[in-house]
Structure 1
Amino acid sequence: MSPCLQFRSPARQRGAIGLMAVLTLGMALVFLLIVVDSGRLYLEKRSLQRIADMAALEAATRNGDCAVGASATAYATASVNRNGFTLPDPTRSLAVACGTLSLDANSLRVFVANPSSSEAIRVIVSHSVPQSFAGGVGALFGGAPAGATLNLTATAVAALPPPLASLTLRTTALSIDSSKSATLNALFGGLLGGSLNVSVAGWDGLVNTNIRLLGYLDRLKVDLGLNAAGYNQVLGASVAVSQLIQTAVNVLDPGGTLGATATIVGLQALKVAAGSTTVVLGNLLHVENGSDVSTFATTVSVFNLIEGVVQLANKKNGVVATVPINLVGLAQITARVQVLEPPQLSAIGNPKNAALDPLGPNRIYVKTAQLRTLLSIDLPALDAIAALVNAAADLAGPLTNTLNALLNLDLVAVLNSLTCAIGVPCQTPDVIVLPGPIRLDVALDVASADSYVTAYSCISNTNKTLTTNTSASLVNLKIGRIDAASMFGSNTAPPTVTVQPLKLIDIGIKTCRRFLFVPITCDPRVPGVGGGIDVVADTSVAANTNMPHVYSAPPANSLPDINQPPFYYSFSTSSIVSNLLNTPVNLHVDMYGPSGSLVGGLGAILNSVTSLLVSAINGVLNPLLDSLINTVLISLGVDLNKVDVGANLSCHSGRASLVI
C-alpha cells in the first residue's frame, strides 16, 4: 500500500476533526458571549434613551423652564425617578438645558442652549455599567483594565409646537331693540341684495353666541365634500355665502332640533337673502401657511362672522344698501352704504415670524371695513330750526346799506320812506332761509382701522407678552349737495366724490308800493338779485396712528391661550369723533353776489350771522352723525369712538414632540 494512502486513512484523520470541532465550538461560544454582551449594552442604551425621551417630553409638555425655580430640571428629575433611573446615584447623572432650535450648514436641526428661552428642552442622562466581555478580552492585549466600567449616554431634545398668536376684531356690544333690529334688517339685507326680516330675538341671539373656529371649519369641509383637504384649502375655496351661513347652522344645531329657536331662524333668513354670491373665507380669517390644527382652536362671535361674510358679499356684488334712519323731530333721512373693502376679522400665526417683518407675508394683521356712506336729509328737517329763521331776519337790516354799496342795488332800509308813502315803487331786500326744495347731504368715507403684531415674549406660559401697533380710521367728511348716482359706482374703483355748496339763504328783492295808509302791495319776489349765502364742507379728520399696546400675563387681565376667549383692549379714538362732530364749526359759509362771485368786505356783518348759521346746522348734524355712527357703522364693525382688538398667545400650542 502506498505510504500516501496510508497517511490519508480515516484512522489518522480522527484527531484533526476533533480539534476542528473544539475550535469551532470555542469560537461559537465567544461569538455567543459577544452577542449576549452586546445585547446587554444595547438594552441598557435603549432603556437609557427611553428614559431621556420621557424626561424631555415631560419637561416640555409641562412648560418647564430654566429660569428662577428651574422647573424643567424638576420635571425631568421626577420623570427619570418614576421610570427606574433613581437619583441621586454615583453611577448616574442627569443634565437639563433650555434653549432654541436652529439649522446648521446642512439644514439639520441643532439645539442652541439659551437659559432664557424654553422653546426646546434637552435632557442628557448617563449611566456607568460594567465593562463588556469584549472589553475584558481587550484588557488581555493592553486595553482598559479588567473590571472597568463603560459610561453610556443618551440625549433627547423635545419641543412643543412654535408659539401661536391671534388678533381678533369685534363689534362694540350691541343692545338690540326694535329700532336697531329694523336698521340691521335694512342694512344686511341691502348689502346682500335681498330683503331681510330677522326678529329682535334673532339678532340678539347672534350677538350673544360664539362659535369655535375649528368646529366650524371641520363642518365646512364635510359640507363641501373636502374631507381630504387641509384647512388652508378650505379657507382658499370659493364658497357660496348661503353655504357659509348653513354651515354655521349645522354647527349650532347638529341634531336639527333647534330649528324653531330665534337664532337659527335668523340664520336661515340670512341664508335666503344671501342669494348665489360666492366669497373666499380666507379673506376674512387669515391663517399663516403651514399652521397645524391647534391654530384653529380660537372662537369667534357668530354675529361678527356673519357681519364679515355679508361685507365680503357686498364687496363682490357691489350693491348699495339703502337704510332709513328715524330720529325724533327729523324726517325723511336716508343712509346709503357700500363696502369698499371688507374687514379682516381674525388673523392667526407664529408671532416669531410676524415680529421679524410685522407687515410682511407672515404678518398677524386685522382691519375693519372700508366704507362709503351718504346721508340725505330732506325737509322738513332744517326749515323748522328757529335759529336759522332768526339769523335770516337779522340779515335784512344790517346787509341793506352794505349791499347798496357793494352791489349797486337800489335797496332802501325802510318801507315807510316818503317816496314809498306817495306811491313811488320801492325796492326792499327779501331774505329767505333754505329756498326751494332742500336736501342736505353728508358723505362719509371711513378708511380701515388696523392692528398688527410687532413683538412678543414667551419666558413661560404665565410670563408672556404680545405687542401690537394699532391705527384708527381716517375719516373724510363732505357736507353740501352730493349726487348719489355719481358717488356710488364700482367698489373696485370708487369714483371721486364731488360736493356742491348748499344755498342756505337767498337774498332777493321785492318792489312794493304804499299810498298813505293803504296797505302795502308788492310785486312778485325776484330771487338772487342780492346773491346769497352758501355752505359747504370738505375735510378730513386725521386718524390716530401708531398706538402701541402690550398685552401681558400676568397681571390680572391675563393674556389668554389660543383656545380661550380673547382678551379685548379698547383703543380710544374719541378725539376723532369729537373732531368729526365739531367739523361744522369749520364750515365754509360764504356770501355770493348775483353773478355768483364771492363778495368780500362784509366783515363783522357776515361773521355775526355765520356763528348763528353754524350753530344751527351743527345742532342738526350732530345727532345725525351720532346716529350714523351708533347704528349703521357700528353694525358693520366700525366704531369711530374706539377699536376693540382681542389678543391670544400660546407660547406652545399642542403636544410636545421629540425633535432631535
Structure 2
Amino acid sequence: MSPQLRGIGFTGPQQQRGAIGLMAAVTLGMVLLFMLLVVDSGRLYLEQRKLQRVADMAVLEAVSRLGTCGSGATAASYANQSAIRNSFTPGAVQKINTTCGSLSTNSSQLRVFTADANKSDAIRVIATTTVPTSVAGGLWSLFSKDGFNLNTNLTASAVGSNGGAPLAALTIRSSLGTIDSSKSELLNGLVGGLLGGKLNLSLASWQGLATTDINLLSYLNQLAINLNLKAGDYNQLLNTNVTPTQLINAAVNVLEKNGAGATVALQGLKAISLIASNTQILKLGDLIKIQNGTSTAGLDTNLKVLDLLQGAVQLANGKSAVAANITTNIPLVGNVTVSLKIIEPPQMSVVGNPALAILDPLNGASRIYVKTAQVQTHIHIDLAILKLVSQIVSALTQLLSPLTSIVNNLLELKLDAVLKCVLSTCDRTSLSIASSLDIYLEAASANSYVTAYNCAGSAPKSLTAQTSSAAAKLSIGLPPTNGAFPSTTVINQQNYLAVDPVKLISIDVTSCTLVVVCGPLQIGKGGALGIKVQTQVGATSKPLTWTGANLPNVNTAPSYQSIDVNSNIIKSLGDSLSSNLLVSYTPQTGNITSTALTAVSGLINEVTGILSTALSGLLSNLLDPIIKTLLGALGISLGNADVGANLSCNQGGRAQLVL
C-alpha cells in the first residue's frame, strides 16, 4: 500500500521563511524600473520643452523683425540668430527650418498655416534635434522592423504672426438713405435694365433691401460652399469665376438663415436672381478686395443688402454690352429717354493692413482703395418736348434778328429785292427746332485710398484717405446710326465721345406774293445751325481724416465723411459752354457765294452767345434732377463722394504665437 501523501502547503512558519524578501526584491525591481522610465521620459520631456522654447523664441524674433522669405529673405537669418542665443546651434544635428506663408480658417473653424514664399503674414519655424533613445523607446524599437536605434529625433513647430497688426477698412457709400415710391419705380427700371430684364418689385421690397444687413464673412463662406471651394481661402474665392446668379443666390442663402426678419428682402433678391445672367463670367474680387493674409476679423462686418446688390449689378453690367433704357419724367421738361451704361465697375469695399497699404498707397498690391462706378448716360429729348422748353423758345426769339441777317446774306435778299415783295414774290424766314437733342454725360469714378494712419503712442488713433470727387464730361451732338453710345476719340488730349454737330435750329423759308399770299413752309431751305458741345469739369481731390471716437473698429458700422468740393457741378458745366460750344452753319444745297459765307461768319459769335445762355439754363433744369435721382440710385454723385472708414489697432502689431 502506498504511503499516505502529506500536504504540500506551507503550513508552518519555518516553511514560509524568505517569502517577504522575495516580494521585496520584486517590488524594488519594479520601483527601479518605473523610476528609470520616469527619469528617462522626463529627460525627453525636458528636451522637447527646450526645443519648443527655441522654436517659439525664433519665430517671435523673425515676426517682430518683419522677416521675409521672398527676394532678400531675412526670416531664416533672424530665426537662426535667436536659436544661437538660446544655446541651439543649427548644424548637422540641430536644425532650424523657416517658412513664410499666411493664415486661414478651415471648415472646422480651426486656424491653419499655408506656406507661400511670397507672403510674410505668418512665419513657421520647425526646430529638430537628435537625443539618445529612451529605455522604453529602445525596448519598443527592438520589436520594430527597423531594429534598435540609439538615437531619437525630436521636432518642435511654432507659427507666429503680427496677430495684433492694425486693420483698416474703406467703403464707399452706394445705398439710398430712403426709398419712396418714385425711387422704387426708378430702381425697377435701372436694376432691371442693367441686368437686361424687367423688374416689378414693390416699394416694400426695395425698402427691405435698403434696411437689411448681411454679414460679409457669412456671405463669403456661403459663396465658397455654393462653389465647392475650400472654406477659409478667401483669396481663391475672390479670384474664382462666378455668375451674377451665383452672387445673388449666395446672399439669398445667407438671408434664409436669418429667419423671418429678412423675408421682405428675400422676396426682392429672389425676383432679381431670376433675371440675372447664369452664363456671364465675373470675379467677386473686382467688387470686394481683401489684402493677402488679412484675418477673418476684418471680414466680420455687415453690409447693406442693397449695397451688395448694386455692386453686383454694376459689376455685371460693366462686363456686358447691355444698357439700361429708362423713360422718366423731368420737372419742367417732361418725359425723356435715358440710356445708362456702366463703363467701369465699382470697388465698394477693401480691408487690409494700413501699414502695408501706405508703402504704395495708389498702385501697390496691398493698397486700400475704393471707387464708385464710371457711368455713361445718354439723354434723348424728343422734338415735341424740346419746343416747350422756355430757354429754347426764348433763344429762338433772340436769334430771329441775327439769323434773318444771315439768311438774307446767304440768299442774297437785298433791300431792293425785298421792296419788290410788294409787287411780286419774296422770301420770308422763320426759325424752328429741326431735330431732337441728345446729351451725353460721362461720370468718372470717385475714389479714395488710405495714405496714413496712427496706432502708436498716446495720441488717438487716426486714418487718412486721399479722396477725389467724380469728374464729369458733357457732350452734345448727333448720336451714332446704331447703338445708344458712340465710340470715343481723343480731342485736346482728353477722351471725349465722338459726336458730330446736331442741326438744332432750322432756318425755314416761305415764298410770298403780294406780302400776304404765301406758299407752303419750306423746312430748312435757309440751311441750319449745327451745335456741338464737349466740355468737362475735372475731379477735385483732398484728404479726409478720421480720429479717435469718430473712427470705429473694423467689425462695427463705418464712420462716413463726405467730400463736397464742387456741389454745383452742372452749373460749372453750363458756365463753360461759351468757350466750348461750337456753332456751325450748314447751308442748303444751292449757289451760296463765298462772299456771303464770309459775311455770315461775323454773326456766328452773336448766335453762339445766345445759344450758350439758352443751353446753360436748359442743362441745369434737365441734368440736375437726373443726377440727383438716376445716378444717385447708383451711388454716384458728381462733385461728391461719401467714404466710410474703420480702423482696429488691436495690440499695436506685437508678434504673437498663433499655432
The answer for the alignment partner of 1:550 in structure 2 is 545
- Matching of residue 534 in structure 1 with residue 530 in structure 2: yes
Which of 454, 457, 471 is 2:454 aligned to? Answer: 457
Number of the residue aligned with 2:396: 392
State the 1:303 CA deviation.
0.8
> Residues 356-388 of structure 1, C-alpha deviation per residue, up to 9 Å, x if partnerless?
111211111111112221110113222123554
Deviation, structure 1 residue 226: 2.9
Give 2:366's aligned amino acid: N
Q: Which residue of structure 2 lines up, in the alignment, with residue 562 of structure 1? A: 554
Asked if the contact 2:560–2:644 (Cα under 8 Å) also holds between the matched residues in 1, the reply is yes
* Conservation of the 8 A alpha-carbon contact between 2:480 and 2:486: no
Map 1:193-208; keep pairs closer than 5 Å: 193-208=196-211
Contiguous gaps of at least 5 residues in structure 1: 1-28, 54-59, 61-97, 113-118, 120-156
CA distance, structure 2, for counterparts of residue 327 and residue 474 of structure 1 = 23
Amino acid in structure 2 at the alignment position of 1:501: P
Aligned residue in 1 for 2:573: 580
Q: Is residue 502 of structure 2 the alignment partner of residue 502 of structure 1?
A: yes
Please tell me whether residue 445 in structure 1 is matched to residue 445 in structure 2.
Answer: no
Question: Could you say which residue in structure 1 is the equivalent of 2:615?
Answer: 617
CA deviations over 1:185-220 (Å, ceiling 9, x no partner) = 111111111111111111122112222211211222
Partner of residue 643 from structure 1, selected from 641, 644, 653: 641
**Amino acid in the other structure paired with 1:465:** S
Instruction: Specify the code of the residue in structure 2 equivalent to 1:451.
Output: S
Q: What is residue 383 of structure 2 aligned with on the other side?
A: 379
Distance 2:571 2:400 in 1: 34
What displacement does 1:590 show? 4.3
Structure 1 residues 323, 402: CA separation in 2 closer, same or farther (over 3 Å shift)?
closer
The answer as to 2:269 corresponding to 1:267 is yes
Q: Distance in 2 between matches of 1:458 and 1:533?
A: 63
CA contact (8 A) 2:400 2:431 kept: no
**What is the CA-CA distance between 1:615 and the residue it aligns to?**
3.3
Alpha-carbon deviations, 1:163-201, whole Å to 9, x = none? 211111112634212221111111111111111111111
Q: Deviations over 1:388-442 (max 9, x none)?
A: 44543454445545654x4361255997x5x444x322333x122203xx21111
Secondary structure, aligned partner of 1:380:
helix
Decide whether the 8 Å contact of 1:591 with 1:599 is kept in 2. no
- Asked whether the 8 Å contact 2:535–2:573 carries over to 1, the reply is no
Following superposition of structure 1 onto structure 2, how do residues 145-544 of structure 1 map, counting pairs within 5 Å? 160-171=163-174, 173-226=176-229, 228=231, 230-254=233-257, 257=260, 261-278=263-280, 279-358=282-361, 359-397=363-401, 400=404, 404=408, 406-407=409-410, 409-412=412-415, 417=419, 419-421=420-422, 423-428=423-428, 430-435=429-434, 438-459=435-456, 463-483=460-480, 485-486=482-483, 488=485, 497-514=497-514, 520-544=516-540
- Structure 2 CA distance for partners of 1:599 and 1:296, relative to 1, 3 Å: farther
Q: Is the 1:172–1:644 contact (alpha carbons within 8 Å) kept by the matching residues of 2?
A: no
Provide the aligned length of Structure 1 versus Structure 2: 529
Given that 1:427 and 1:510 are in contact with CA atoms closer than 8 Å, whether structure 2 keeps it comes out as: yes
CA distance 1:399–1:455, shift in 2 (3 Å): closer
Query: Offset at 1:604?
Result: 8.9
TM-score normalized by the length of structure 2: 0.70
Structure 1 stretch displaced more, 385-394 or 207-216: 385-394
For residues 606-627 of structure 1, what are the alpha-carbon distances to aligned partners after superposition, in whole Å with 9 as ceiling and x for unaligned? 6565544333333332232112
Q: CA RMSD in A?
A: 4.3
Contact map agreement 2:470 2:640 (CA 8 A) in 1? no
Matches of 1:504 and 1:158, distance apart in 2? 68
Shift, 1:469, TM fit: 1.5
Counterpart secondary structure, 2:550: coil
Offset from partner CA, 1:320-371 (integer Å, 9 cap, x none): 1111111244334111111121111111111111111112111111111122
How far the C-alpha of 1:476 sits from its partner, in A, is 1.7
Q: Deviations over 1:433-492 (max 9, x none)?
A: 203xx211111222222211122221169722222222222322101221272554899x
Q: How many Å separate the matches in 1 of 2:372 and 2:570?
A: 16
Q: Structure 1 315/353 Cα, relative in aligned 2: closer, same or farther at 3 Å?
A: same
- Percent identity of the aligned residues? 40
**Aligned equivalents of 1:656, 1:216: Cα separation in 2:** 30
Distance in structure 2 (CA, Å) of the matches to 1:344 and 1:387: 40
User: Which AA in structure 2 matches 1:439?
Assistant: S
What is the alpha-carbon distance in structure 2 between the residues aligned to residue 192 and residue 594 of structure 1? Answer: 45
Residues 1:111 and 1:296: Cα distance change in structure 2 (over 3 Å)? farther
Q: Is the 8 A contact 2:574 2:615 kept in 1?
A: no
Of the structure 1 ranges 387-396 and 346-355, higher mean CA displacement relative to structure 2 is found in 387-396
1:598-609 residue pairs with structure 2 within 5 A? 599=597
- 1:520 alignment partner AA: V
CA change 1:462–1:111 in 2 (3 A) is farther
| CA distance in structure 1 between the aligned counterparts of 2:402 and 2:646, rounded to whole angstroms | 66
Residues 409 and 220 of structure 1, relative CA distance in 2, 3 Å threshold: same
Distance change in 2, residues 1:399/1:443 (3 Å): closer
C-alpha separation in 2, matches of 1:485 and 1:540 = 25
Displacement of 1:284 in angstroms is 0.6
Equivalents in 2 of 1:191, 1:590: separation in Å?
37
Pairwise CA distance, 1:46: 8.4
CA distance in 1, matches of 2:339, 2:243: 25
Distance 1:466 1:601, change over 3 A: farther
One-letter amino acid matched to 1:562: V
- How far apart are the structure 1 equivalents of 2:172 and 2:421? 72
Moved more, 303-312 or 461-470: 461-470
* Contact 1:389–1:433 (8 Å) recurs in 2: no
Distance in structure 2 (CA, Å) of the matches to 1:471 and 1:364: 14
CA distance in 2, matches of 1:630, 1:394: 32
Contact residue 427 and residue 512 of structure 2 kept, 8 A = yes
Are 2:45 and 1:107 equivalent residues in the alignment?
no
- Judge which range, 372-381 or 481-490, deviates more: 481-490
Whether contact under 8 Å (1:318, 1:490) holds in the other structure is no
**In structure 1, C-alpha distance between the alignment counterparts of 2:531 and 2:366, rounded to whole Å:** 48
| Whole-Å separation in 2 of the counterparts to 1:499 and 1:541 | 19
- Residues 192 and 396 of structure 1: is their aligned pair in 2 closer, same or farther, counting only changes over 3 Å? closer
Supply the distance in 2 between the matched residues of 1:249 and 1:611 (Cα, whole angstroms). Answer: 56
Change (3 A) 1:594 1:574: same
Q: Is the 8 A contact 1:441 1:479 kept in 2?
A: yes
Separation (CA, whole Å) in 2 of partners of 1:171 and 1:483: 32
User: What residue is the counterpart of 1:75 in the other structure?
Assistant: none
Mapped to 2, the partners of 1:180 and 1:617 lie a distance apart of 28
AA aligned opposite 2:500:
Q
TM-superposed CA distance for 1:159, in Å, is 5.5
